[in-house]
Amino acid sequence: MKFKEAIPLSQIAEWTQCEVIGNADALVTGLNEIHNVQHGDITFVDHEKYYDFTLRSSASFIIINKKLDAPQGKALLYTENPFKAYNELAQRFKPDVFAQQLVSGSAVIGTETYIYPNAFVGEFVKIGKNCVIHPNVTIYNYSEIGDNVTVHANTTIGSDAFYYKRHPTHYEKMHSAGKVVIEDDVEIGAGCTIDAGVSSDTIIGKGTKLDDQVHIGHDVKIGEHCILAGQVGIAGNTKVGNRVTLYGKVAVNKNIEIGDGATVMATSAVAKSLEGGKTYIGYPAVEARTFARQTAVIKMLPELWDKLKRL
């Protein structure tokens, strides 16, 4: 997330009770977890395994639990609990707000948009013109919906990211500081769930169509004019290009990319990034031609085994 105005690192340090290593007057312009950082952002790292990766990232400011020299062009904030400090910042810049009515007074709703009874529209939600929001839809605070969008019954937009830090005795939840942005001409089927971003936004691109019972994880970016069939699940921080088709029950791993124009056949599992313009199938998903050859070989195995036994 980007701040409305730049904030001196010294102010961030005061809020989080951290020790500054580097230029305390440097200006922080945003807050992001490591997979989405840009120049000017502050992020955190609390495990030695990821120190080098984080210190080499695009982040300008890093909350860390080890005293190190700040790399050139960066500054550090030292604390024993970076996750807690980061979470406090996320809550400061996107605080929890609690609606008191089904359609919140702070929501901005465009002309000719119809909201059915029993739909919930949270605080600071924006909905464009000529939209239809069906019964029992839940639209969480801060979500943004474009023009000509249809959301079918029992869908949830903007629920918290599934993001936790593991402790020996419990899990500590990451505060969701991002939101959901649904662009123009999107249709979302019944019973879908679209999670808010942890720090950036979850985005559904223009003209994309979701079937029933689709789950979109935090910080996912889906391009324009995609088709996602029933029971597709996409894990956090994955990027899906334009004109991508995912058939029923496709499972997509986190932190990967699917290129423009790719097609993934039903019940496949996408474990790693896929090039665009090709058709994939299988578990894990491979190009359809490769899958066909593999299947042909597998069908021959019983006959080959019988020949081996007769040798």
- The answer to whether 176 and 196 are in contact (CB under 8 A) is yes
Q: Is 304 exposed, middle or buried (0-12, 13-18, 19+ CB in 10 A)?
A: exposed
Active site residue ranges: 218
Describe the strand order of the beta sheet including 180-182 as a list of residue ranges. 108-109, 126-127, 144-145, 180-182, 202-204, 221-222, 239-240, 257-258
Please give the backbone phi and psi of residue 41, each rounded to the nearest 5 degrees, phi first.
-80, 155
State the DSSP H helix or E strand holding residue 2, giving kind and residue range, or none if neither: strand 2-8
- Long-range CB contacts (< 8 A, 24+ apart) of 65-71? 67/19, 67/21, 68/21, 69/21, 70/21, 70/22
State the DSSP H helix or E strand holding residue 64, giving kind and residue range, or none if neither: strand 61-64
Question: Which residue, among 243, 197, 244, 168, has the nearest Cα to 1 in the 3D structure?
Answer: 197
Distance from C-alpha of 228 to C-alpha of 215, rounded to nearest angstrom: 10
